[in-house]
Amino acid sequence: MSAPATFVWLARHELRLAWRDWIGLMTGGRPRRLKLVAAALLGFILFLHLVAYSILHTAGAPMSPDTATLIVVTGSALLSWSLMLSQAIEMVTRAFYARADLDLILSSPVSARRVFAVRIVAIAFSATFMALPMAAPFVNVLVYFDGPRWLGAYGVLLAMGAAATALSVGLACFLFGTLGPRRTRFIAQVVAAIVGAAFVIGVQAAAILSTGTLSRIAALQSPAVLAVAPGPHSSLWWPARAIMGDAAALLCVVGVAAAMLAAAIAALSMRFADYATAAAGVSAERVRQKQPARGFRAATPAQILRRKEWLLLRRDPWLVSQTLIQILYLLPPALLLWRNFSEGSGALVVLVPVIVMAAGQLAGGLAWLAVSGEDAPDLVTSAPVPPQSILRAKVEAVLGCIALVVSPMVFVLLLASPFDALVCIAGVLVAAASATMIQLWFRTQAKRTHFRRRQTSSRMATFAEAFSSIAWAATAFLLAAQTWLALIPGAAAIGVLAGSRAIRPR
């Protein structure tokens, strides 16, 4: 047993909390699901190894560190690092706002610098651990094909987590110092979503424009990239060489990343503690501020409920990164479809399913927040308003948010093609209404802070919502193309709704 207040003791505390959070995220707060989750994870890992084997079995062995190979390895590493950086930004921001043990720990005889140094290191390991499921299968298959030299990739993965955490801590402290604790929570979530999707979207967009496919490998090995890439002995390829087993490059990469993390801890750990304390006092500060007295506005109960839902959605900063990234990932398929159909009349038609799909996905998350994520259900149900009126107001609030998001795109589409715009409007309404109904049928009482793990509450609702959005998007696309084949996915979408209603909890 380690002594209290030591680095090891605090690290065990952070590890225990991270483990509990992960178990809660996987099981939805139901420990009996742990065996099922473990079996599902094992099957998923085996599936990823099969996928990696199918992709890499034609690569050949041994793989020489020529320029083309170094470009592909570097691009794959940058893709993983961008996702790690996005997760690290979100975890650093959550460390400011979402931890309830701050007052308890800071009131104890423990060095604040040591506490937050441990938290920063814990974030680095957490970011690395979240990247392991996608990276480890490819590394293991490469070790099988080309020898143990590829085990250096695990060292580079740790270095990437350390570097991403160091930059995230620096960015968070910079935002706190310039924008203050209130605005930082929102801006950091937007930055995390954009960082997580920017590199993926950029590489896929380059692949679409250069090769007409979504293949990142084809884009990275295109003649244009090979022409501007430096020689194989350039220091730019040190991370790739470290992944491929170059011991000197591996030592250099790990050393630089460790130095970045150590510098961030030494320079910002005390500032991290001050900002975390300020973030914890944001709510109290808002209460203490003098605000002009406002009387009750004359409005109907439905208007009050809608206003309340919109206000809560607007105040929910964690919603931004969860929904914005879903919409951003729809841009490459839209660009691919636009490029393939840009020479014909279907150039505008391909935008319709993208908008419908985004509306369905966004409506599902918003409906969960409005219906299942109600933090004061007893207070709302005790109001002198019929229950059906409460549900109707929540649904209207969700549909109003969807209309606000898609209206600019639909307006531009209306100027170019009124028929496609009408089909898009109908598809958005049906997809959003379907996702909302599924959430109503499978609603379970939860907290808004559990938004990240809402999929674990009902697997059936998750799959039904996804299949419904896909089917309505396909229906809208075929209907905009003016073909009777639209009846097939439309019937499938209706079947998904009927099946969901039939198996809903009573």
Q: 88: which 2 tokens?
A: 């690290």
The pLDDT mean for the chain works out to 76
Q: 273: which 2 tokens?
A: 């503690």
User: Which range is most confident: 60-64, 410-414, 419-423?
Assistant: 419-423
Cα separation of 132 and 290, whole Å?
49
Per-residue b or e along 254-279, where b marks 16 or more CB atoms closer than 10 Å to that residue's CB:
beebbebbeebbeebbeebbebbebb
235-293, pLDDT tens digit by residue? 888 888 898 888 888 999 999 999 999 998 888 877 776 776 666 555 444 434 444 55
pLDDT at 253: 92
pLDDT at 28 over 60: no
| Number of Cβ atoms within 10 Å of the Cβ of 392 | 14
Lowest mean pLDDT among 81-90, 200-209, 364-373, 444-453: 444-453
Cα separation of 452 and 449, whole Å?
8
Lowest mean pLDDT among 11-25, 154-168, 264-278, 290-304: 290-304
pLDDT at 72: 81
Top pLDDT among 428 and 457 is at 428
pLDDT at 283: 44
Top pLDDT among 181 and 79 is at 79
pLDDT band at 322 (very low <50, low <70, confident <90, very high): low
User: Which range is most confident: 14-18, 116-120, 199-203, 461-465?
Assistant: 116-120
Q: Fill in the DSSP letter of residue 416.
A: H
pLDDT at 486: 86
Task: Give first-to-last CA distance, the chain, whole Å.
Answer: 50
pLDDT at 489 over 80: yes
Pure H helices in 98-151: 102-106, 112-146
Lowest mean pLDDT among 31-45, 73-87, 411-425: 31-45
Q: Is residue 30 classed as helix, strand or coil in its secondary structure?
A: coil
The ranges assigned to domains in the chain are: 7-283, 301-502
328-340, pLDDT tens digit by residue? 666 665 665 566 5
Sequence-separated (6 or more) residues with CB below 8 Å from residue 72: 217, 220, 221
214-227, pLDDT tens digit by residue? 556 666 666 767 77
Residue 275: which of 390, 365, 169 has the closest Cα? 169
